[in-house]
Amino acid sequence: MVTIKDVAKAAGVSPATVSLALNNDKKVSRETRKRVQQVAKALNYIPNARAKALVKKATQIIGLVIPEIDNPFFAEMAQAIKDCIKDSDYSIILCGTDNNPELESKYVNTFMSGLVDGAIFACLTDVNNELIMELARNYIPVVYVDRLNEDTQVIPVVKSDLKDGAYQLTRHLIALGHQKIAFIGRKDEERFAGYCQGLQEAGYPLAEDYVLAPSYTFAHGVAAGKKLLGLADQPTGIVCFNDEVALGLTQFLVKAGKKVPAEFSVCGIDNTVSRYYNPEITTIDVPKKEMGRTAAELLLKMIHGEQLQETEHFIHFPVKLIKRASTAPAGSA
């Protein structure tokens, strides 16, 4: 393998000069920089990343922490972030937590060691918020996507209105005549608050049997379907945490001989895989790509030492109801 000493010998300069020249340092004359770079290219010299980071005091790497790498929602967002920074000098290291707070804290501690210049966290849990706040205050810039914290001056937030999304779905089902509406999701999450608001405005009580968790994956949707069919008084409309859960629920119901939407109207949130299923799932469109791009732009500004505008510390994206074939008027069976 070609070393920096090999380049220095071939170019007739010191290794220190080679290092400066390859980093376009103006301490080295233009002619020398050009000569060294040509020699390095001819020898196929690949700079050591660690050494380069020490010289520049930066790794030029951004950490992206998401709960599920195979989740289409986060995959679309990650692609948007990648596209946003592709013309910069930065690369992305993708970290999947599998919804495990302990694994997320491991990534945070790794980031504290200097692996990345900044990080974006797009996770469903807030267990490690205090630890991440320490990361942001004392180590690197951090941006949150669809995750709340108490101090947006320290960690800016790029957020979609998920409460309004669940509210719109609940009101949509109510408008179709559904009075027994279930919710697959956590009670400590804003989607639940939107669901409750929709019920309350319609004068419908909250039925504890109709609230089911956990609520992230296709398998959770299947599990929820088993519980719902086991109820003596079954709901006719269901608001799901996301599209994956809605698909798991729908597939289970269909395999169980139930009709969607004639017997059960099913809704998802995020507008990813919902459009590729039969029946297509009514859902809430969340602007994943726009959110990812905005988060990347904010982080790059912070890394470069730019002052954020006050309006950039909390950016709220609206969501949109997409009506599809998985919902129908109550009693249409």
- The rounded Cα 301 to chain-centroid distance in angstroms is 19
332, part of any domain: no
Residues 105, 193 within the same domain = no
Q: Note the pLDDT of residue 52.
A: 56
The CATH number that applies at residue 259 is 3.40.50.2300
| pLDDT at residue 143, as a whole number | 97
Residue 331 in any domain: the answer is: no
Give the Cα separation of 21 and 43 in Å (integer). Answer: 15
pLDDT value of position 264: 97
- Please tell me the predicted confidence (pLDDT) of residue 295: 97
Give the pLDDT of the chain (333 residues) as one tens digit per residue: 788 888 899 999 998 898 888 877 888 898 898 999 999 889 888 766 555 555 556 788 999 999 988 888 999 999 999 999 988 889 999 999 988 899 999 999 999 988 899 999 997 678 899 999 999 999 999 999 998 888 999 999 999 999 999 999 999 999 999 999 999 998 888 999 999 999 999 999 999 999 998 788 899 999 999 999 999 999 999 999 999 999 999 999 999 999 999 999 999 999 998 888 889 999 999 999 999 999 999 999 999 999 999 999 999 999 999 999 999 999 876
Joined together, the tokens standing for residue 58 give 């930066």
pLDDT of residue 53: 53
pLDDT digits (tens, 9 = 90+) for 194-219: 999 999 999 999 999 999 987 888 99
User: Domain for residue 330, yes or no?
Assistant: no
Residue 203 CB coordination number (10 Å): 8
**Number of domains forming the structure of the chain:** 3
Supply the range of the domain harboring residue 10.
4-56
Domain membership flag for residue 326: no
**197 and 147 share one domain:** no
Q: Is the peptide bond between 156 and the residue preceding it cis, with omega within 30 degrees of 0? A: no
In a domain, 134, yes or no: yes
**Domain contains 204:** yes
109 shares its domain with 17: no
213 shares a domain with 76: no
Q: Is the peptide bond between 279 and the residue preceding it cis, with omega within 30 degrees of 0?
A: yes
Which phi and psi (to 5°) does residue 250 adopt?
Answer: -60, -45
Nearest to 285 by CA among 223, 243, 325: 243
pLDDT of amino acid 48: 63
Same domain (yes/no): 144, 200: no
Strands 283-285 and 320-322: antiparallel
Can you spell out the DSSP letters for 222-286? HHHHHHHHT-SS--SEEEESSHHHHHHHHHHHHHTT--TTTT-EEE-SBSSGGGGSSSPPBEEE-
My answer on whether 235 and 275 are in the same domain is yes
Distance CA 56, CA 309 (A): 28
Q: Are residues 221 and 282 in the same domain?
A: yes
Residue 202 lies in a domain: yes
Check whether residue 107 and residue 185 sit in a common domain. Answer: no
The one-character DSSP state at 155 is S
> Do 120 and 94 belong together in one domain?
yes
217 and 297, same domain (yes or no):
no
Residues 150 and 185 in one domain: no
User: What is the rounded distance in angstroms from the CA atom of residue 134 to the CA atom of residue 130?
Assistant: 6
Residues 214 and 127 in one domain: no
